[in-house]
Structures are given as structure tokens and as C-alpha cells.
Structure 1
Amino acid sequence: MTGKEMTKRIATLAVALAAVGLLGACSSNSSEPIPTTISTPASAAVTPGSPAAMLAATPWETTSATDAHGTVVPLTDDHVKNYVGFAYFKSDGTFTMFNLDDTPKMHGDWSVSPDGRTRTIIAKNDAGQEQFTRVVDIVTLNDKDFTYRVYPTADDRTVYFDIIHTPTTHPEPAK
């Protein structure tokens, strides 16, 4: 593949990711999944140095959660328990997630907006059919912390929970 073809492919991917980000900005960030037919190609490579590359650089474990007042919320709380587990974001644009007891949680495609402000997951069943899409605001994303924000009620931005992940050496369980 020539450099020109690669540049064109990367530009096409950037446009697709931007479209997903714009759609996510219009969607609900509630804990309820939102059905969609938009998908990120699993063959999409992560650009080195990008926010997506940072997310794909390590496996992540949910280690805590806080509410809008900064108060620590137990990981068993009804508002956060659906977001708890181990996450493995692969550089090919696919992900797997497991509960803390290593039972399978979900898998599918993922992306981070080019500006690093949102993360999108598209959960799929074993047949590859889309089950739901979840777009969340990224609060922090660096080599020590990946925190995203969820809103229990989409139209109330004053009530939210930050889901905090740290890198883990926990090996990815077999599905």
C-alpha cells in the first residue's frame, strides 16, 4: 500500500470516527443502551500517539467510582455496577470486557473521538450483530488513569458518576 493510499484510508477513518462522535454527542449517556446500526470497522488501526492508542496500550480494571460531588461510590452501587470489570481495547478496534470474576461481560468494536473527548463501544453478540452502542465522555485518559462519565438521566448533567479505571496486569480471560 502506498503512502497516499494509507493517508486516504486514515482520512476516511478519521471522518468515520468524527461522525460517530457527533452522533454520540446527540445520544443519551444514560445507563440504558441505545440501539444503533452504526459500526466502527474492526479492521481500523489505531494511530500511534492518539488518544485511542493510549486506551489500547494497556488492559484496564475498574478500581473506583465517584459521584458529582467527588464522593466515592461503592462499585456495587446500582448506578455504577454495570460499568465494573476488566476491559481489553485492542488496536484493531475490537474490545472484550469481563466482570471482576472473569465471566464474560461483552465484546464488540470501540473507538475514541479524534479529540479524545468521547469513547464509543458497540457491543455485539456472538453472531456479530450489534446489541447496543454506548458513548461516554472521557474525563481523563493517560497511562495511569482512564475515567469516563455516565449520566443516569440524559437530560440532567448535574447528576453523574465517574467510572475510574487503572492499568492492570490481569490476563485477558478466555471467552
Structure 2
Amino acid sequence: MKTFKKIALSLLVVFCTSLIFSCSDDDSTVEPVLTPSELLASTPWETTNAKNNKNENVALTDPNVSNFVGFAYFKADGTFTMFNLNDTPKMHGDWSVSADGKTRTIVAKNDAGTVLFTRVVDITVLTKKEFTYRIYPNNDDKTVYFDIIHTVTTHPEPKK
């Protein structure tokens, strides 16, 4: 009987050990955690939708959102270029995202480097697949807004 117990215990130990070591680490790749700025610069973005404060889809041709539609290329060096969906140049300049990922600032410049305008927007979504920011037609009325939704694109950056 003692021999049977020893054999059973040995088999149990071998079985448990094989379960522990059979789990492979190959399936669990740890991706680095990106800062909000790194996340925004990690891929090109395309405007794919817009929603109003009632969560209704808004046509990208709607005058309330059409100026915010296009392809955006945020570079790690803090510069950006944007193009209309027909690949014509829209604007370029400098950009930043707050450390907490809540706002994005762009400083649009002309070809001579003169600042044309600065725009700060609230970020509502910033993931590897979506970048959404909020615009207010009237900054004094935060009840009316449009969310400009961008998704990842493989569209190559057009040449100016």
C-alpha cells in the first residue's frame, strides 16, 4: 500500500508540474504603455465620423464639422500635417497633448512659420484605434458640441 501511495503522489507531482510548465509565455506579449502624445503620434488618423451632443451621426459635409475632416499625421517631433480627404493640403504646424491626455493643442502655421491660429480641444477618446475630440460652435455654451471621430488609417501621407 505504501508503494501505491508513493506512486500516486509521484504521478500527482509530475502532473501538477507539467501543468505549470506547459503554460507558454509566447502568447502573452507585453506591449509598452504609451503616453498620450506617443499614442497620438503612433499612427496616421482619418476622420470617419462625427456626432452631435445628442449622440446623432453628423455628415462630414455638415458645415459644423467639415473644417475638421481629413487625414492627420502627428509626428513624434511635435509637428503635424493635415490633408483634406482628397489629399489637398489643409494645414501644418506644431502640436502637443497634455500629460493627462485630456487636451490636444495645435498651432497652425503658414509656410513662412507665422502662427495662423492656435486651437485647444478636449480629447474624449484616445486609444490605439480611435482619437476623438470635442468642438464647441460657441465656447460659452458647452451644451452644444460635436465630437470629431478619427480612426487609424494606412493612408500614406501625401506630399505637399
Q: TM-score, normalised by structure 1?
A: 0.72
Letter in 1 for 2:115: E
Output aligned runs, 1:65-84, within 5 Å.
65-84=50-69
Q: Which has the larger radius of gyration?
A: 2
User: What is the aligned counterpart of 1:104 among 78, 81, 89?
Assistant: 89
Which residue matches 1:166?
151
How far the C-alpha of 1:169 sits from its partner, in A, is 0.2
Output aligned runs, 1:23-38, within 5 Å.
none
Output aligned runs, 1:111-130, within 5 Å.
111-130=96-115
Gaps of 5+ in 2: 1-32
Gaps of 5+ in 1: 1-47
How far the C-alpha of 1:49 sits from its partner, in A, is 1.9
Which residue matches 2:40?
55
Structure 2 counterpart SS, 1:136: strand
Letter in 2 for 1:165: H
How far the C-alpha of 1:167 sits from its partner, in A, is 0.4
Structure 2 counterpart SS, 1:82: helix
Bigger relative contact order (CA 8 A; separation at least 6): 1
Q: TM-score, normalised by structure 2?
A: 0.79
Letter in 1 for 2:94: D
Structure 1 counterpart SS, 2:39: helix
Which residue matches 1:147?
132
Structure 1 position 91 matched with structure 2 position 67: no
- Percent identity between matched residues is 70
Q: How many residues end up aligned between the 2 structures?
A: 128
Which residue matches 1:9?
none
Q: Which whole-Å deviations, capped at 9, do the CAs of 1:36-56 have from their partners, x for residues lacking one?
A: xxxxxxxxxxxx721000000
Deviant stretches of 4+, over 4 Å: none
How far the C-alpha of 1:104 sits from its partner, in A, is 0.1
